[in-house]
Structure 1
Amino acid sequence: MAVAEPSRTGSPPRFLLLVFVLLLTATDEAVAAGGLSIGINYGQIADNLPSPSRVSMLLRSMQVSKVKLYDADQNVLSAFLDTGVEFVIGIGNENVSAMVDPAAARAWVQQHVRPYLPSTRITCITVGNEVFKGNDTALKDSLLPAMKSVYQALGALGLQGQVNVTTAHSLDIMGSSYPPSAGAFRPDVVPYIQPLLDFLSAARSPFLINCYPYFAYKDDPDGVPLEYVLFQPNARVTDPATGLNYDNMLYAQVDSVYAAVQALGHTDVDVKISETGWPSRGDPDEAGATPQYAGIYIGNLLRRIEMKQGTPLRPAVPIDVYVFALFNENLKPGPASERNYGLFYPDGTPVYNVGLRGYLPPMDESDATRTAIQLFALIALASVITLVLS
């Protein structure tokens, strides 16, 4: 093997170029190998957010392995090509009815899914979000047919088994959630949920639920123990029917959904948390919306996720959670809390410290600059390989 001569031009030694390449690719390899098991909701109802390419660098520097969108933003999906990050993409409520038409569903999949696979890891499509929370009967009636059309479109393109189809629900679909073993869906949604569960079972797709213990505390701060909703030491709650002990409300909420699903005849559908979070700021009547409590909730939740904990009812199944949300979103309607669920401000500064360290590149770092750096790195790598083989 030839021995490299010392540099005579002042350029860095070739082994340093190899180190540079390894540093450039180490983050993506870590994400592909697993990264953080936490998922993050990446909402974009704001006019001051960083570009998707900068967000890609931020999330990759945090080694976040799962991202959930509320749409199928082409700029976002393109920014995460070949990063190993797993994506849930969405079809908004406004487009659900159109997806009932198989041709429309197939066109949507061809435009928003097929071009990005396998370079972007799209693993799930949510059709609608919290559809049963409103009073739109036509939307409710369209949901399952739309899900079936999208599922069939995936099959026609050979993508079934790679991409799941489901929808996310608000916890207010529950008619009863306490104790967890008495969990039951509201009578008015059961006619919709029963066939939907049959579909999820056949398609091997999860049941997604948006769980916010914060809402329970906000509505009754004197009656709901703060420690119980923040994963702090507390007296625990025992389910009298099962004898299972709960040390936090989130797990109790998830198990109540499992009980409701089982009551409709299904033990073969996994329940996953598609949203949970805690606001760092709110209106005067929104009790508990502070950076301190938000940091405690998210920090303790992250620790339990990393411990791969399951709920008392499903202790062997680690909870699967998508935290809401990546950024504060300044254009979201509603009370102040709605605009303050983010882990980060739009400039990349953490809203509170839970140990998630990330790097948001400066605004003047253009895509062209990054492309040039990556090209330089590839040339350097090729040079090193040539040297080794020579």
Structure 2
Amino acid sequence: MGLVFLGLFLMVVSATAADEAAFVGVNIGTALSDMPDPTQVVALLKAQQIRHVRLYDTDQAMLRALANSGIRVIVSVPNDQLLGIGQSNATAANWVSRNILAHVPATNISAIAVGSEVLTTLPNAAPVLVSAMNFIHSALVAANLDSHIKVSTPHSSSIILDSFPPSQAFFNRTWDPVMVPLLKFLQSTGSFLMLNVYPYYDYMQANGAIPLDYALFRPLLPTKEAVDPNTLLHYTNVFDAVVDAAYFAMSYLNFTNVPITVTESGWPSKGDSSEPDATMDNANTYNSNLIRHILNNTGTPKHPGIAVSTYIYELYNEDLRPGPISEKNWGLFDANGVPVYILHLTGSGTVLANDTTNQTYCVAREGADKKMLQAALDWACGPGKVDCSPLLQGQPCYEPDTVVAHASYAFDAYYHRMVMGDGTCNFNGVATITTTDPSHGSCIFPGSGGRNGTFINGTALAPSFNSTTSGCSPQFFQCEYFYMHSVLFGVVLWAAVYL
């Protein structure tokens, strides 16, 4: 389907007690067989209003292309250079001279990430990690750049043990000899803890203990929220719980004023048979909800109102990455700059590009229980006040005559009737949002504004059917079959399933 990408970013909102406003950025990996030219990359960033990026190295051509763009850049010391820099002040100074001083101020470098997940992926370099950070910081001080460029190092969230409840979380004590001086460094230099947060992996490794909705930021009933028994704080998503676990782990070591920036978070859009939840719809849902969560300045239960700036992993799908299929499919774009999916950001505030959020649909979730689907269908066509007349025999959406097809139509009609509001595409977990138009033949779904539908205030409505063609009035449900089936049977079955 032709895609006009929903402009990603970036509305800047104020964050209480923070030096910078909260933002959403992106990581730029380069393991592509057809990696775009740096000038093409920067053109895409500008077109999508992306103002914050993280590089995994200090590619000179990329840094030159970013010059005078206004885009703020985190550059990185690759892990394979860490040992040399951590053992030699002179080596660190040369690195800063070659990779930082040669590009500022034209290129707006805001931070240096020293290594990546060193404690968990390169433990033999852990003893020199803080030394490397100190040496690089000293070189920045000598160049009078330390107030503009912060130094930190990204950590995997797996260094946090017993992350739920968050109030009982602590860092793996094996790393105390590194974490304590590292946090002292961050505190004394006014820097921040870099944390990689992947609810996808938390969900995958939980063996069913973590509900998918909880991982995807989907609305939860209050009874489904996770409650920390020590603080009585309610958690509605994995992301907040992990971030708060890091805050509590730092406080356990007596550090309470080091802010957190999430340097990686995302969801894969494709996986193999062992990763059934690596889907385009789930990736869209996670990243759209994450962006909304950050830019709405929601904060976390421990620090409400103080949003955690976050870099989405990642800009491009990287087809050369080793490992399972999911490893190659975390990107927002393909190598040609075509969006993998269209984000749905309604409610996130001002979006600074083409807003195509009306191109989202609510359909039956694949594999959903048929009885649950039937109950949800009957509720939508009855108490939900959806016009289900197109589903009558002889009407455009009767075929295929399956509960999945009929429920998808009814769900989408309700979703758009409710102006695509949060939680209006759930139906107790049997519905999901998609960017693929489910219309087929002469059956035009309510969200399909470009296929003979009618738009009112931006909301797509189904083509109308009058009483002479459908045998019932769509406005008042005067169709005997649907009234009896949807109201009487629907109420009984809905109550049986949900109550």
TM-score (norm 1): 0.81
After superposition, residues 30-41 of structure 1 pair within 5 angstroms as 37-41=23-27
* Deviation for aligned residue 1:110: 0.8
Are the aligned partners of 1:176 and 1:186 in contact in 2 as well (CA < 8 Å)? no
Q: Which residue of 1 aligns with 2:338?
A: 349
The 3-state SS of whatever aligns with 2:174 is coil
- What residue in structure 1 maps to residue 231 of structure 2? 242
Letter in 2 for 1:114: L
Runs of 4+ in structure 1 over 4 Å off: 355-359
Residue number among 295, 298, 304 corresponding to 1:315 in the alignment? 304
1:150-201 deviation digits (Å, cap 9, x = unpaired):
0001111111101000000001111220101111011211221111101111
Q: TM-score under structure 2 normalisation?
A: 0.63
CA gap 1:162/1:254 in 2 versus in 1, 3 angstroms: same
Q: Which residue of 2 aligns with 1:267?
A: 256
2: CA distance between counterparts of 1:236 and 1:76?
A: 44
> 1:124·1:164 contact (CA, 8 Å) conserved in 2?
yes
Is 1:120–2:107 an aligned residue pair?
yes
Any conservation in 1 of the 2:267–2:330 contact (CA below 8 Å)?
yes
What letter matches 1:354 in structure 2?
A: L
Once structures 1 and 2 are overlaid, which stretch shifts more, 213-222 or 320-329? 213-222
Structure 2 SS opposite 1:141: helix
Offset of 1:120 from its aligned partner? 1.1
Structure-1 residue corresponding to 2:76: 90
- Higher-Rg member (1/2): 2
Q: Give the distance between the partners of 2:330 and 2:109, measured in 1 at CA.
A: 25
Q: Which of 92, 100, 112 in structure 2 is aligned with 1:105?
A: 92
Q: Deviations over 1:39-66 (max 9, x none)?
A: 1001112221211101101111111110
Of 31, 36, 58, which residue of structure 2 is paired with 1:72?
58
Q: Distance in 1 between matches of 2:320 and 2:133?
A: 29
Q: Which residue number corresponds to residue 199 of structure 2?
A: 213
CA contact 1:177–1:256 (8 Å) conserved in 2: yes
- Distance in 1 separating the partners of 2:84 and 2:353: 39
Choose 284-293 or 320-329, whichever is displaced more: 284-293
Kept in 2, the 8 Å contact 1:127–1:165? The answer is yes
Offset of residue 142 of structure 1: 1.3
TM superposition shift of 1:35: 11
Matching of residue 131 in structure 1 with residue 118 in structure 2: yes
The letter for the 1-side match of 2:268 is P
Matched residue, 2:292: 303
Query: Any gaps of 5 or more consecutive residues in structure 1?
Result: 1-29, 360-390
- Residue identity in the other structure for 1:192: V
Q: Tell me, what secondary structure is at the counterpart of 2:173?
A: coil
Tell me which of 215, 219, 227 is aligned to 1:229. 215
Deviation at 1:135, TM superposition (A): 5.5
- Coordinate RMSD, CA, aligned: 2.0
Offset, 1:282: 1.3
Once residues 135 and 298 of structure 1 are traced to their aligned partners in structure 2, the CA distance between those partners, rounded to angstroms, is: 29
- For residue 189 of structure 1, give the secondary structure of its aligned residue in structure 2: helix
Q: Deviations over 1:119-143 (max 9, x none)?
A: 1110100110000113532x11111
Q: Which amino acid aligns with 2:264?
A: E
Q: Using the alignment, how far apart are the partners of 1:35 and 1:188 within structure 2?
A: 35
Identity percentage of aligned residues: 37
Distance 1:225 1:260 in 2: 24
Partner of 1:176: 162
- Distance (whole Å) between structure 1 residues aligned to residue 337 and residue 137 of structure 2: 37
1:221 deviates by 5.0
Q: 1:316: Cα distance to partner?
A: 2.9
Higher relative contact order, structure no. (Cα contacts within 8 Å, ≥ 6 residues apart):
1
Which runs of 5 or more structure 2 residues have no equivalent in the other structure? 1-10, 13-19, 346-351, 355-499
Q: 1:358 to 1:78 in 2, by over 3 A?
A: farther
